Structure 1
């Protein structure tokens, strides 16, 4: 099958369309429930009377929970089946939402722990289920994964906008309170459960069942150091990119405080930029640009944006003691523009990294290894929260913390650029070797561009 016929037959493959639809509906419902809660988590804790220090501890507990328990749930998914774990996700996350109706610190802490476990499943196991069905059971062309992951990123951005508006409508305009979005999330989680149970199939038989829990959890780490270490370089790119992404998530509001922006509008613009990034990725892939090169491009652009943000924050630190509001506002505008560019990079990054993971991570360790790659991200995020805590754009101490964090993030992103370049070379070489091996074996040559 040549490239032209490959692209023409993709839209008419009923098995592909049905599989994609089942996956995306369940995933969208789950992420919609997640987006409903995000803007009001901090406000809920504030309404309950907790200090910023206590709120920071609650945030950190969630990330540590994801870091620790994520390894276990990844192993359970690989061993007993991804459908089962994704179904458990909807129940666990619903329980986490229910804890928000109680103001007790211990109950809220349990909720954060359950939330950390849930996000580990959401951002690893859903994808692992789809890739397994797509490649190993339906035997669909791997290139079609690009379309699915691009759609997942695009509509995830749309759902974030709709969820934010819906949460604001019920919590603020209808004055139902900051706990309302968490209650609203539960029906969407249960709908996701219904879709998973009624439309997904479970193929756990492919997974290699072993009997040593600790060994099974730590076995995937060896893969990072084996052979040409292609997984190691991809892992470095993922952990660095997503670590600095969470730095951005917790920083943009105080950095833009001088502009006094409507936060809902700013967030919506970020999501529009992310959607544009996803569409750009789809367009470039259709023009035969290679996903590994697009990953490198997104890393380079992200590194440049973080560098500009760091320089802008440095200028703000220098001028804040001079009480020069014009300079601070100008730098804040520059930061805002760079934030938009960065969100565009994120829109390109997610479908690229999803596709490349599907091509390089062994099936029997897909969920476990994906959770291992999230461990450094969660640790870095916890450190970032403690360093940035208490700062805003009118406080020179707070700005210095942001300056340090974004400066460190810039250096990390530069490292990710070099890692992505090495990965791109090794991956391209691997694809060529695989095609030669398939040709010698008399199999169809992959349609992937190399």
Structure 2
């Protein structure tokens, strides 16, 4: 393999340097905030030697620090080691993989489930592989779908339509352009994390039935949080019709990885053809054992109590924000989007919260949200107290007034 001389390498990346300078100048460059979580103090972390509170984590139920989940991972590590050392095809499939996939399929009432290294990979690999296999399938994608869904669709040459967010009438107009015999796939999410709204799942499934379309539903932000056993919005509303259902472990379940549940043959095809599944080292056994233990909690009585406290705390946060005259989206879900318009302003408020109050909330700006729609996506885990919520809102009010 030839290697470019140093000067040529520099020339080759001159364009990147220019683009990165433009990104910084635009105010859209994203800084990392290193924080190491403290298992003995849920909701707290260490940032540059200082103890801080974190109010933007996706660990919605605090399961990553649940004693039983941590104990399961530690015990499994001692028994099986820290990694598998191979892909699923080459010495990387453990009994835990098999048991977990069977459990997930049963949880969602589907014939098969397939575990991936992340939710992003699950979406991208499943969609790109299946669409490539059915090139005449037409895709209908919600305008606010997650990037993993968008890129999975873009990777194929299939014809695609983007319909206005959760607009059932507009979706039906698009579907009506095609014969019933034309293969069709509707791709959408249950909970949209930036606004916290919930899709009209049953109405979309009604359309799919009328127009002979398949459906692919991303339940990422609802897994563990909604439904009697935490299986998501579909379980909560008694909806069983989505063809494919995607979920993750890295949010409310508190571990790592993602999965898709759905038809046996389709997911067997993905298992056999998806490059991002075949050619990557799999999740370690210890993490899978922690996931299985977390699901024991999430699906049981303790999970019911955690979900109830999560909802109660979200309402407490909304009430406190309302009383402090802080603008927020009154969402249907557990998410509390706090609106702080202006890219510079949202960053300034975030910095002041961290520097002056030891409170970390990540600024959300373009392209995650439209310009002018900058915000904080606040999460209020079950362990949060009313005192902590009130202190957070006081600090936020102070920083908003100072910005």
Scaled by the length of structure 2, the TM-score of the pair is: 0.24
Q: TM-score, normalised by structure 1?
A: 0.23
Question: Relative contact order: is structure 1 or structure 2 higher (C-alpha 8 Å, sep ≥ 6)?
Answer: 1
Structure with the bigger percentage of strand:
2
| Structure with greater helix share of residues | 1
